[in-house]
Amino acid sequence: MQLLSPGVGLLVWTLVAFLIVFFILQKFAWKPILATLKERETGIADAIASADKIKAEMASLKNENEALMIQAREERAAMIKEAKETSNKMLSDAKEKARLEYDRIVADAQASILQQKNAALTEVKNQVGSLVVEVAEKVLRRELANKADQESYINGLAEVVKLN
């Protein structure tokens, strides 16, 4: 049982050693330890505040990034729409231009055909007229070989002309 209960002298000397160590630590080590703890505490608080600030900035940047992505998608959709509209307009303009060119070529061809037709008809009429004149001349020379028949024929024509 002696091992379980220490002696009074041992307690006193342990208490004296404890108090000496306590006063030495208080005089020399307590302030630096507390300053270090305080410094560490402020460093941790600053780190937490900085982390919160960075987290808030990251959230803000994420929101801005999402807004930029939405805006970029809208701009892309608008550009695609504008490109399609431009393409359709160019296509319709090209079709209209081709149709106008086709109409012009057809009109020119029809005018050319009509002109050639009229020229051919005129030439045929001239040839027929020449042939008629030649035939009439030959017929009249033959039939009007004598002057009496010629005068009677002319008088007959003059009467017909006066009647009309």
Express each pLDDT in 96-113 by its tens digit: 999 999 999 999 999 999
pLDDT score for 164 = 43
- 145 located within any domain: yes
Q: How far apart are CA 103 and CA 145, in angstroms?
A: 61
Per the structure, the complete domain to which residue 59 belongs is given by 8-163
Cα–Cα distance list, 132 to 112, 137, 143 (Å) = 29, 8, 16
- 96 located within any domain: yes
Which DSSP string do the residues of 52-106 spell out, in sequence order? HHHHHHHHHHHHHHHHHHHHHHHHHHHHHHHHHHHHHHHHHHHHHHHHHHHHHHH
The answer to whether residues 143 and 149 touch, using CB atoms and an 8 Å cutoff, is yes
Q: Could you tell me which residue, 47 or 141, shows the higher pLDDT?
A: 47
Q: In the block, which residue shows the tokens 């608080």? A: 45
Return the structure tokens found at 102: 């086709």
2-11, 27-36, 43-52, 108-117: the lowest-pLDDT one: 2-11
Model pTM above 0.85: no
- 35 located within any domain: yes
Q: How far apart are CA 2 and CA 151, in angstroms?
A: 192
- 95 located within any domain: yes
- 139 located within any domain: yes
- 2 located within any domain: no
- 63 located within any domain: yes
Give how many domains the chain has, as a whole number.
Answer: 1
Q: How confident is the model at residue 3 (pLDDT cuts 50, 70, 90)?
A: low
Q: How far apart are CA 147 and CA 78, in angstroms?
A: 100
